[in-house]
Amino acid sequence: MKQMIIIALISSIAFAATAQSTKLQYGLKAGMNVAALSGKNSGEAYNLNAWYAGAQLTLPLSKVFAFQPELLYSREGFRGTGMKYNFDFARMPLTFQLRHESGVYAEFGAQFGVKLRSTANDIDDDQKIEIPDMESYNAGLIMGMGYRHTSGIGINIRFAPSLTGVGKGLDAKLTTLSFGISYSLESNK
């Protein structure tokens, strides 16, 4: 998994080098995750609302096409009978955007995540328990759309189904629907 992240970072730098004739945009983003568990071993799992925050870099490849790597801290999880399961990830979404001059865009790509922490909380007494047998990485797809105003303020919605399971030997995957806001600045170069 670490090799995949290194390859993704090198790819991001390579894209930046090829996009020198257009203005680079960089900024911050944050929002809400609505995560759900699916699969044979999901049992009685319910959505959990959490948050994400991080940085983004938009590399315009043309007037209508851009590449956007991000680095996010993302809390996800689900609720089960009497328990709340939280997963904290360092995520790296890598999206390609098809953009319209009005500011509307569609995006698609992949995201890779490294698990920072996984805990289970008893809903009644809020006691936290570390979960030992969780996967240390996560990979998934991204599909979404958004709007970025010329002032740099933007909104987006993103659907991200996981391709990897949450636990070792479990047929259960996280699927996340995210709603976010962002603020971007253009570089002077």
Distance from C-alpha of 112 to C-alpha of 139, rounded to nearest angstrom? 5
Note down the domain range covering 136.
2-186
Task: Give the 3-state secondary structure of residue 145.
Answer: strand
Residue 23's SS3 state is coil
- 95: its two tokens: 């999206």
Work out the angle at residue 163's Cα, subtended by the Cα atoms of residues 16 and 40, and round it to the nearest 5 degrees.
165
Cβ neighbours of residue 42 under 8 Å, at least 6 residues apart?
78, 172
Q: Specify the CATH number for the domain of residue 141.
A: 2.40.160.20
Closest CA to 48 of 60, 57, 36, 39: 36
Distance (Å, whole) CA 113 – CA 94: 11
Per-residue pLDDT of the chain (189 residues; tens, 9 = 90+): 566 555 555 555 554 444 444 689 999 999 999 988 876 665 666 778 899 999 999 999 998 999 999 999 999 888 877 778 888 999 999 999 999 999 999 999 999 999 898 888 877 776 777 776 777 888 999 999 999 999 999 999 999 999 887 777 667 788 899 999 999 998 765
Count the domains in the chain.
Answer: 1
pLDDT at 1: 59
